[in-house]
Structure 1
């Protein structure tokens, strides 16, 4: 969007039309205690050349030289150059919602291919043309289950991404929906016995993530049997879809949703990302978002159209499935390009490499004396107990140019001094070995301190 400057006279005229005497009045509804009254700490004014130099210097201080072992819903995978090269084509880069099919065949075909790929990966019969991100996709799946079952109670695993749970709670806050959280077992998986106790005839949906927030793989068949026995729908959330290349898809679920950022979309400080939602064909009319279908024109040529659009801007508001279920089609296109570049064999090979390197890391840490608390199978993320305060240990790793994981105490107070570690193809064996050496060094210092003699009459700290 172009910058449109307004002269002082223009501003005065606009304020008069609004019945205001100053621009300050436009912000009067913002509480004083959260108003920012100071000046932004910004350099300048700078010339164009100085601005370019400033950003060049800032880029030199970025974390490219660091190794990232962060995961937790945002995964650092290699992005082939072809992804951005194709995304940058004007036909895609500036395309808007394809309302006129005759003018948007390329965009519609790309969406159709995305739907096909997601349906194949998830084992579902139909997929929409993507959503905002994994958190809103999961919430849309829950709202869809509420409509389908006409019930108003949701049972969710505590191992569902904590921020996804927060988004869900925000959406249903004023719907009178009850949310029940089921704890995890010693294995790091959902406590199935607790789930069985939590279910009743008012439960609309059971929401389970796999691999879950701890990286462990859930037992979907067993969970689905319990959910369906009570008449509830099973919503399977997936934040690391690369796992679907080596793990059986959750075909027992009724709705499969999640985040496809791993497929060619940059981590990019948290967004924009690309949510997906797939389901059974019998539920398609309650599916949020848009559905692109294949057809033929009057001359028998293959073409693509918007087959179903259940947004409130397309149909009557009271009949709409959601009023915020648009998407970032460019991100969906990035995922489509990425999946087509790798193909089935390439995606499986990449997933197997992630799996092998994560297990190599866990084995090296265990050999160094680290505790791996959860026994359930995992893909490319796992939990490890740190030999000291988790934040201090992460600081030690940063000294070695390693972003060593997510401190789980932030979300799970009972897991103080535990890290969630993610290993993708972007983490080299050398970096893993360096991390293990840091662990051994820290653990060695701790053991030496514990074994040091203490003066007579002085208690050990």
Structure 2
């Protein structure tokens, strides 16, 4: 088969069938500003394989990698140590090439892995049941909002100001196609989350309230009061966890009454990888399980009474009639889920708690040291491994200056919320077990110079 087997006549006929005049008509939903007006800058129209390899290697050398410099980035993606055994095991042929287990009799290994992953996620998030992974945290968040709409038959979702703005952006994009009304807010540089404001906004049209735990500023709130307020109005509470290591030290959202708990699993078993692929976590209470998107693997027995595994629920549009589907996500990040599960198994409950304790201790020491720098104010007095500083100067150029010095100082709120003057001095700093005391001192000394 040729690489491009279709002829111009084939393409013309395909366009006619779908009712389009040109190929450009297929991209009308993509803003003009986001479209290329020519070839990708810097790439030749054709080149030899050797020339392409050299060119791509030169581009890669421009990256500043997490392991090469003092690293304090977080805000939804975290640098943790991943044991070498994780990468070794996921590259075994039976895992690396595994596909959707439509035939359970030849896919027991994959199915058992999915079952164990679900069990670990459900226990970690404090819920009755979890699915066999989603794409990432942001799409899992949106799937939870649409699930709440199905459950409550309401179309208004209240999103906390502490929810990651990228998650909010994904929800806003998808809501254009479903008609859901999303009430959003900006975070405020205060020590406490916006719990009281969220409670005041709940009414009889509310399908759900979405909160992040810990939130984008690193703040930790008790979700119990908010859960009670949601349930009093027959709405659901959705909790988003972007740093699952935190649950080695904090009460799980499910324990505090959250109906649906979703999150980004990248912190465990999955490297930063310049942005992906990552793995979405999704769990809920048992009474909601039939509205849960994705796939659910279950344990059973075969005709001889031996333990076995099957896909118990798979309400995706490729399996059932589209109008009956709970999700149009037609795959899952199973290889990343396997990495997550292997790392979690290696840690165990004791290891996860120890890892969480190390993270919190390191972050606390870093916050104390950085708060001593003139021109730096600690906004969040209670946090796990991520906290927000308020600088005497706009944070974004400070971060840029420090990056030029080989220090990745954190995520400026001005980058996440451009044009919002009240947030432009905010800097979100993450500290994990990979951060050394020397790294913290390097950052503190550099901030003293830049803020002077």
What TM-score, normalized by structure 1, do the two folds share?
A: 0.88
Does 2:85 align with 1:82? yes
What is the match of residue 453 of structure 1? none
What corresponds to 1:5 in structure 2? 3
Task: Choose the corresponding residue for 1:280, options 248, 273, 285.
Answer: 285
Paired residues of 2:300 and 2:307 also in contact (CA < 8 A): yes
Secondary structure, counterpart of 2:377 in structure 1? coil
1:177 corresponds to which residue? 180
Aligned mate of 1:115, from 107, 113, 118: 118
Superposed, 1:47-446 pairs within 5 Å as: 47-64=48-65, 65-181=68-184, 187-250=190-253, 251=255, 252-324=257-329, 326-412=331-417, 413=420, 414-444=422-452
1:355-375 deviation line (CA, Å, top 9, x unaligned): 111111111111123433534
1:77 shift after superposition? 1.3
Name the SS for the 2:124 alignment partner.
Answer: helix
1:381–1:421: 8 Å Cα contact kept in structure 2? yes
* Partner secondary structure for residue 282 of structure 2: strand
- Quote how far apart the aligned CAs of 1:403 are: 1.1
CA drift of 1:13 comes to 5.9
Long gaps (5+) in structure 2: none
Asked whether the equivalents of residues 380 and 387 of structure 2 are also in contact (C-alpha less than 8 Å), the reply is no
Instruction: Quote the RMSD (CA, aligned, Å).
Output: 2.5
8 Å CA contact 1:183, 1:194 repeated in 2: no
Structure 1 segments of 4+ aligned residues over 6 angstroms from their partners: none
Q: How far does the alpha carbon of each residue in 1:255-295 deviate from its partner, in whole angstroms, 9 at most, with x for none?
A: 11111011111212222111111111111111111100111
- How far does residue 190 in structure 1 lie from its aligned partner after superposition? 2.9
Q: Please give the TM-score of this superposition, normalised by the length of structure 2.
A: 0.89
Alignment match, 1:458: none
Query: Which string of whole-angstrom CA distances, capped at 9 and with x for unpartnered residues, describes residues 64-86 of structure 1?
Result: 32232111111111121111111
Question: Which stretch of structure 1 is more off in the superposition, 54-63 or 143-152?
Answer: 54-63
Q: Residues 202 and 208 of structure 1: is their aligned pair in 2 closer, same or farther, counting only changes over 3 Å?
A: same
The Cα shift of 1:442 comes to 2.4
Distance in 2 (CA, whole Å) between partners of 1:363 and 1:388 is 20
2:250 is paired with a residue whose SS is coil
Deviations 1:4-57 (A, max 9, x none): 4358xx74564576589xxx9544666788452357422686555555555555
- SS of the residue 1:266 aligns to: coil
2: CA distance, partners of 1:134 / 1:78: 20
Matches of 1:343 and 1:127 in 2, distance apart? 18
Equivalenced residues, count: 437
For 1:13-24, list aligned pairs within 5 A: 14=10
Give the number of the structure whose alpha-carbon radius of gyration is greater. 1
- The answer to whether the 8 A contact 2:193-2:219 is kept is no
Shift of 1:155: 1.3
